[in-house]
């Protein structure tokens, strides 16, 4: 029987949880007998993937004029016409209705079966505002997949549809390899993009300072992004230059998670944060705010971590202090970490994708 041909399209395969989930999905679908292709729009590939890669970013020139952009996307159009995919799994930012119409009419073609991924609790990231064009997109799409129950429920309510179902991000088996990256002796970890609008670093730093544990444990912030200078400013203004360590993204993601005492998340919004499940899979507890989607579906308070009300720096400081100083609580959470994500096992996620890609 001929393999079904699947295309996973993403902005990139580097430096973020969404991008890591795309790479992981390519592994899962390949191992389940699909002919997997990946399309990335930017030349940024860090994560291990399976399948054939079409890297449109390699054609992007330094002086990227409108004409050169047109020529580049004409290559993409030809690629889709040639490959004739059975399904396209679209992970791009989709908040511009006219751009989505461009993809439907010019890049993909009206007859393509497209599954639109919803990775974020802020629905405006992946879907245009309600209106005529968004209704056309709803009718055109083969399906929508939210990576958390919270996202799927919000999506269906907002757009008055039942087309969005939930499939959690697949977490492939983690192998921790030796690495020369120098980690502090004892640290709390944030791992991800340096995007203050989404991640709320001021809350993170204020809560760490209020916890007054800097003599016992450092805060390691590991990642890249446009808000690095803003983050450095926050650190300096709060007098935390000796206690907060900034490091760029590293291939040693799992090393950083394994060595951390716990992971810290202070996001204003999430989808289904990969870093939380990756931390738990390494046996590392998580202290997280209860933002609108994601953490509450993963963190069981005082079992595999601590979940506190969002935007409350005092409550978060108390949680940080407890996870540093209460060894009994810490060992309970650490002991439960790995088994708490059994629901994300390969066979469970595979069955759900087989239903969507039937």
Distances in whole angstroms, Cα of residue 215 to Cα of each of 28, 171, 219, 288, 321: 43, 35, 11, 22, 12
CB of 38 closer than 8 Å to CB of 8: yes
Instruction: Check residue 183 and give its pLDDT.
Output: 83
The residue count for the chain: 358
Instruction: Check residue 345 and give its pLDDT.
Output: 86
Delimit the domains of the chain by residue range: 5-173+344-356, 187-342
Tokens representing residue 172 in the block: 């492939």
Buried b / exposed e along 217-227 (16+ C-beta atoms within 10 A): bbbbbbbbbeb
pLDDT in tens, 227-240: 999 999 999 999 99
CB of 147 closer than 8 Å to CB of 120: no
Tokens representing residue 141 in the block: 């799409």
Instruction: Check residue 228 and give its pLDDT.
Output: 96
pLDDT in tens, 52-103: 999 999 998 888 898 999 999 999 999 999 999 999 999 998 888 889 999 9
Instruction: Check residue 180 and give its pLDDT.
Output: 60
Instruction: Check residue 177 and give its pLDDT.
Output: 61
**153-158-160-162 Cα dihedral, nearest 10 degrees:** -30
Identical fold at 5-173+344-356 and 187-342?
A: yes
- Pairing type for strands 286-289 and 305-308 reads parallel
Helix %, strand %, coil % of the chain (to 5): 45, 20, 40
Strand ranges inside 41-104, DSSP E: 52-55, 87-90
Q: Is 148 helix (H, G, I), strand (E, B) or coil?
A: coil
CB of 221 closer than 8 Å to CB of 248: no
CB of 194 closer than 8 Å to CB of 223: yes
CATH class, range 5-173+344-356: alpha beta
Averaged over successive runs of 10 residues, the pLDDT of the chain (358 residues) comes to 93 88 95 97 93 96 88 96 97 89 92 93 84 87 95 94 94 67 89 93 98 97 94 97 92 84 96 91 96 92 98 98 98 97 91 96
Instruction: Check residue 148 and give its pLDDT.
Output: 94
CB of 140 closer than 8 Å to CB of 114: yes
Instruction: Check residue 126 and give its pLDDT.
Output: 84
* Residue 99: partners with Cβ closer than 8 Å, 6 or more residues away: none
What CATH code would you report for 187-342?
3.40.50.2000
- Pairing type for strands 35-40 and 114-118 reads unpaired
- Pairing type for strands 87-90 and 164-166 reads unpaired
pLDDT in tens, 196-208: 999 999 999 999 9
Helical ranges in 147-200 per DSSP H: 149-159, 196-199
Distances in whole angstroms, Cα of residue 208 to Cα of each of 52, 197, 199, 230, 301: 44, 19, 15, 17, 19
Instruction: Check residue 250 and give its pLDDT.
Output: 76
Alpha carbons 94 and 73: distance in angstroms, whole number: 16
């Amino acid at each position: 029987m001929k393999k079904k041909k699947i295309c996973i399209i993403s902005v990139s395969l580097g430096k973020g949880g969404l991008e890591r989930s795309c790479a992981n999905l390519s592994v899962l679908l390949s191992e389940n007998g699909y002919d997997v292709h990946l399309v990335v729009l930017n030349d940024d590939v860090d994560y291990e993937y399976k399948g054939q890669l079409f890297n449109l970013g390699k054609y992007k020139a330094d002086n990227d004029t409108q004409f050169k952009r047109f020529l580049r996307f004409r290559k993409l159009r030809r690629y889709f016409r040639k490959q004739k995919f059975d399904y396209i799994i679209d992970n791009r930012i989709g908040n511009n209705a006219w751009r989505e119409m461009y993809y439907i009419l010019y890049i993909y073609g009206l007859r393509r079966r497209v599954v639109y991924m919803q990775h974020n609790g802020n629905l405006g990231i992946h879907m245009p505002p309600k209106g005529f064009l968004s209704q056309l997109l709803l009718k055109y799409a083969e399906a929508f997949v939210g990576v958390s129950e919270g996202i799927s429920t919000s999506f269906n309510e907002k757009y008055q549809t039942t087309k969005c179902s939930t499939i959690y991000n697949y977490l492939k088996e983690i192998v921790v390899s030796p690495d020369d990256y120098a980690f502090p002796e004892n640290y709390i970890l944030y791992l991800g993009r340096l995007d203050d609008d989404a991640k709320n670093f001021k809350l993170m730093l204020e809560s760490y300072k209020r916890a007054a544990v800097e003599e016992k444990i450092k805060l390691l912030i590991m990642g890249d992004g446009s808000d690095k200078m803003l983050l450095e400013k926050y650190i300096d203004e709060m007098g935390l230059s000796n206690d907060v360590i900034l490091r760029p993204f590293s291939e040693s993601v799992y090393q950083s998670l394994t060595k951390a005492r716990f992971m810290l998340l202070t996001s204003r919004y999430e989808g289904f944060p990969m870093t939380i499940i990756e931390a738990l899979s390494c046996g590392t507890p998580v202290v997280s705010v209860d933002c609108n989607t994601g953490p509450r579906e993963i963190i069981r308070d005082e079992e595999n971590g601590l979940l506190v009300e969002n935007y409350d720096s005092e409550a978060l400081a108390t949680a940080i202090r407890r996870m540093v100083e209460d060894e009994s609580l810490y060992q309970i959470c650490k002991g439960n970490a790995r088994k708490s994500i059994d629901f994300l096992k390969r066979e469970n996620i595979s069955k759900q994708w087989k239903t969507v890609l039937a």
